């Protein structure tokens, strides 16, 4: 008797969910960043520096989602 | 007889969900922040200070999501 | 015979869901706040005061999500 | 034989879902509110009064989500 | 032998999902409303009247979510 043949770990789903927010967020950061650069091209260095700061802080949320299944049991 | 071979803890899913909001929120903060910097480059210090304040308050929500499974049983 | 090896409490998922809204909301508050500061730097005190009021009211929703599993059974 | 070791009440998930909308909504109200204050600082009293009216009406949706599990069975 | 110890009614989840949309919608109504008031403070009465009309129509969706489980069987 074979019931559902579903395999895999909930860790994959957990990472997938954790990647939704930073994915949208990084898009908003760079989308507004290129708009800001077009408005003030001479401030490109300042804008790029803060864009990458925001990118790193948002990306960290997804990377924590990679290690969580090892913590909680994968 | 093989039933579903699903493993893992609901804690991974809980963290993943808790990371969606801050991920989008941090993106909105930095996206609007670089726009504000391009409009008023001389206010960069004031803007970055409040951006990082908002970042820390939003990030806290995701970090609470890391410890919740230890509270409720992982 | 192997059935699912899934562990954890639904409380973790409940908190994770409750954190999505405030996470996005806090981002919107601070994102618009830094925009407003760049437009009226002399109103920074007034803006920050109302930003933190909105932050506290939105954050409360996530913190209620922390205690709900204790009310409904974790 | 190991079945799932999942515990908790669906009420926690219900509250979590009910908190998403008000969390985002309160953020939109206060985000636009601080923008409006920066545009018309002399109308701060009127704006804050209507911000808090909107906050109370949105928050009510989450608080109904707290009592629903008691109505439907937690 | 350990089975899942999950309790609760799907009615709570149904209400939670029904509250997401109105929660965001009410936020958009009041957020744009206070912006409109700051632009035209003398039209406050007209704006508030229409804000509350929109609020009542959006709120109705969530309140229908309260009675649905009684219709479909809680």
Are D61 and C21 in contact, with CB atoms under 8 Å apart?
Answer: no
CA distance E39 to C26: 24
Chains B and E touch (3+ CB pairs under 8 A): no
Q: Which residues numbered 46-65 in D keep a CB inside 8 Å of some CB on E?
A: 46-47, 50-51, 53-55, 57-58, 61-62, 64-65
Chains D and A touch (3+ CB pairs under 8 A): no
**pLDDT lower than 50: segments of chain C:** 1
- Which chain C residue's Cα is nearest to A32? C31
Interface contact C41-B37, CB threshold 8 A: no
CA distance B44 to E5: 53
**Higher pLDDT among residues B54 and A74, named by residue:** B54
How many residues are there in chain D?
Answer: 74
Sign of torsion over alpha carbons C16, C18, C20, C26 = negative
> Between the CA of residue E3 and those of B2, B72, C53, E6, what are the distances in Å?
17, 18, 45, 9
Work out the pLDDT band at B3, boundaries 50, 70, 90.
low
Instruction: Give the pLDDT confidence of A21-69 residue by residue, as tens digits.
Output: 999 999 999 999 999 999 999 999 999 999 999 999 999 999 999 999 9
List of chain C residues whose C-beta atoms are within 8 Å of the C-beta of residue B25: 23-28, 30
Select the residue of B6, B9, B38 nearest A8 (Cβ to Cβ). Answer: B6
Is the pLDDT score of B59 beyond 60?
A: yes
Q: Which residues contact A2 (CB under 8 A, 6 or more apart)?
A: B1, B2
Is the pLDDT score of B6 beyond 90?
A: no
Residue D40 has φ and ψ, to the nearest 5°, of -130, 75
Instruction: Give the pLDDT confidence of E9-24 residue by residue, as tens digits.
Output: 899 999 999 999 999 9
The pair of three-digit structure tokens given for residue A41, joined into one six-digit string = 């091209």
**Higher pLDDT among residues B14 and E2, named by residue:** B14
* E3 vs C: CB within 8 A: no
Q: Check residue D1 and give its pLDDT.
A: 46
Strand partners, E7: D9
Instruction: Label residues E24-56 b or e (16+ Cβ within 10 Å = b).
Output: bbbbbbbbbbbbbbbeeeeebeebbeebbebbe
Strands (E), chain E: 5-7
Is the pLDDT score of E6 beyond 90?
A: no
The pair of three-digit structure tokens given for residue D30, joined into one six-digit string = 């206060």
Q: What is the pLDDT along chain D (74 residues), one digit of tens a residue?
A: 455 678 888 999 999 999 999 999 999 999 999 999 999 999 999 999 999 999 999 999 999 999 998 988 87
3-state DSSP helix/strand/coil % of chain C, to nearest 5: 85, 10, 10
Residue E2 has φ and ψ, to the nearest 5°, of -120, 115
| DSSP 8-state symbol, B9 | E
Strand partners, C9: D7
Average pLDDT value over all residues in chain E? 90
* A7 vs B: CB within 8 A: yes
Interface contact C3-D4, CB threshold 8 A: yes
* C21 vs E: CB within 8 A: yes
- pTM equals 0.91
Q: Check residue C5 and give its pLDDT.
A: 76
In degrees, rounded to 5, the angle at the alpha carbon of residue E25 between the alpha carbons of residues E22 and E31 is 140
Nearest alpha-carbon partner for A35 in D55, C73, C22, C35: C35
- Are β-strands A7-9 and E5-7 bridged in parallel, bridged antiparallel, or unpaired? unpaired
* Chains C–E, number of C-beta pairs less than 8 Å apart: 5
CA distance E26 to E59: 8
Strands (E), D4-72: 5-9
Is the pLDDT score of B58 beyond 60?
A: yes
């Amino acid at each position: 008797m074979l019931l559902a043949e579903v395999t895999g770990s909930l860790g994959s789903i957990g990472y997938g969910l954790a990647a939704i927010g930073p994915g949208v967020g990084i898009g908003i950061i760079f989308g507004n960043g290129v708009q800001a650069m077009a408005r003030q091209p001479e401030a490109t260095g300042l804008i790029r520096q803060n864009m990458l700061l925001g990118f790193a802080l948002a990306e960290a949320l997804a990377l924590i989602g990679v290690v969580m299944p090892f913590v909680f049991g994968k």
